[in-house]
Amino acid sequence: MIHKKICMVGACGVGKTSLVRRFVETIFDSRYQTTIGVKIDKKSIQANGQDVTLVIWDLAGEDDLAQVRASHLRGASGYLLVADGSRKSTLAAALDLERRIRGVLGPIPFILLVNKSDLTDEWEADEALAGIVRLGWPNLRTSAKTGNGVEAAFQQLACRMLGNPGD
């Protein structure tokens, strides 16, 4: 069975850990416990008719103090770039992150996830998102709370990593 390392990156509190828990354990917890360092999980799925185990490195979110560690990114085959749809600033952070990751890992598959799509009242990402879509980035709206788009996000990333950008 093929194993692939992927990383969850994005600003603090955008829901990286929640997305992983939803994907791996299918549960959601509204309490917030910030990740320190890195937490590793895994799940096996099928992509392109092939079994693949995703080893998911859930990295601590970036804030003013801590930056994403290049050493944790090393060896990743792809990553999920997570932003919080209810906070515009996290999209700007995502833009910046993508540029830096490209510097470390080169152009590897990634998908921009605009998370917390269930918070329609506080949604403020549309405008910024429109700009990003113009860059040609693959993107998805997700909600760790409802589970919306979560499976699809990991699934699509796996397909891209295995060499089929479609699906």
Partner 1 sequence: MSPARWSRADNGDTLQDEQLSRLRALVMGPALDELNALRNRLDDPTVRAGETSQVIAEAIALRSRRGGELRQALQSSIEEALRISVQRDPHMLANLLFPVIGPAIRKAVASSLTGMLDALNKTLEQSVSVRAVQWRLESWRTGKSFGEIVLLRSLLYRVEQVFLIHKETGLLLGHEVAQSAVVRDADLVSGMLAAIQDFVRDSFAPAEAKDLESIQMGEFQVWVQHGPGALLACVVRGVPPHELGSMIQDRLERIHEQMGAALEDFRGDATPFDAARPILRSCLTGQLEHARRRTPWVLSAAAILLVLAAVTLGYIDFLGQRRWSAYLERLSAEPGIAVTSAQCGIRGCTITGLRDPLAADPNRFLEGSGIAPEKVSARWEPYISPAPQFAAARRLDAHKEAVELQGVFFKTASAQVAPEALWPVANELHLLLEAASAAGRQVNVELSGWTDASGLEAVNAKLGQERADRVASELAALGIPAGRLVSRAGGVSKSGTGGPKDWSRRRVTFRVVPAP
Ligand X SMILES: Nc1nc2c(ncn2[C@@H]2O[C@H](COP(=O)(O)OP(=O)(O)OP(=O)(O)O)[C@@H](O)[C@H]2O)c(=O)[nH]1
Q: Which residues bind ligand X (CB under 6 A)?
A: 12-18, 29-32, 34-35, 60-61, 115-116, 118-119, 143-145
Instruction: Report what 77 binds from partner 1, Mg ion, ligand X, none; CB cut-off 5-8 Å by kind.
Output: partner 1
Neighbouring-strand partners of residue 140:
113
Distance (Å, whole) CA 100 – CA 18? 24
Q: How far is the CB of 118 from ligand X (least distance, A)?
A: 5
Nearer to ligand X, 51 or 122 (CB): 122
What does the DSSP assignment read for 57-109?
EEEPPB-SS----HHHHTT-SEEEEEEETT-HHHHHHHHHHHHHHHHHH-S--
Nearer to Mg ion, 41 or 164 (CB): 41
Residue with tokens 């929640």: 18
35 binds Mg ion (CB under 5 A): yes
Q: How far is the CB of 60 from partner 1 (least distance, A)?
A: 11
Distance (Å, whole) CA 29 – CA 9? 19
Q: What residues between 3 and 22 interact with Mg ion by CB under 5 A?
A: 16-17
Q: What residues make contact with partner 1 under the rule CB under 8 A? A: 1-5, 37-38, 40-42, 52-53, 55, 57, 69, 71-72, 74-77
Residue number of the CB closest to ligand X reads 61
Q: How far is the CB of 14 from Mg ion (least distance, A)?
A: 9
The answer to whether the beta carbons of residues 22 and 28 sit under 8 Å apart is yes
